[in-house]
Amino acid sequence: MVLCHNPYYTIRVDEHWNGEIRYLCWQKPKGILEKPSLVIRNGKCTESPGKDKAEYVFQNGELIYSLERIVSKGKYAATHIFLEVTDRYNQKSTWKMEEKPLPKYLEGLL
């Protein structure tokens, strides 16, 4: 579904075999073949009718994690990914993420 990173984290959102949407996060320098630093289960996905925007929302205790993936349309289409973490006081922290291509040796495994 989504594999992205920034200088601090690598994040993967995937759909498990049973339909469950999971959020997996590795704090760098950990790689995706290592045990994740954080796993959140039972996420919710909302997609736009044109499939150009998807939002994945996960709750972990009092924190809400929202990962938004936007694909612009047109000749110079680009993918934009944002991670927003909201606490119980509605304080938000937002990070711009970059799409990370899946290494060829992992295709079919993840």
Q: What is the domain-level CATH number for residue 77?
A: 2.40.128
**pLDDT of 37-82, one tens digit each?**
999 999 999 999 988 999 999 999 999 999 999 998 878 888 999 9
pTM for the predicted model, two decimal places: 0.88
Q: What is the pLDDT of residue 110?
A: 52
Q: Is residue 105 in a domain?
A: no
Cα–Cα separations (whole angstroms), residue 110 to 2, 12, 33, 37, 104: 11, 10, 10, 17, 11
Asked if residue 110 is part of any domain, the answer here is no
In the chain, the number of structural domains is 1
Instruction: Tell me the residue range of the domain where 84 lies.
Output: 2-98
13 Cα distance to chain centroid? 5
The answer as to whether 104 is a domain residue is no
Whether residue 22 lies inside any domain: the answer is: yes
Rounded-to-integer distance, Cα 110 and Cα 5, Å: 17
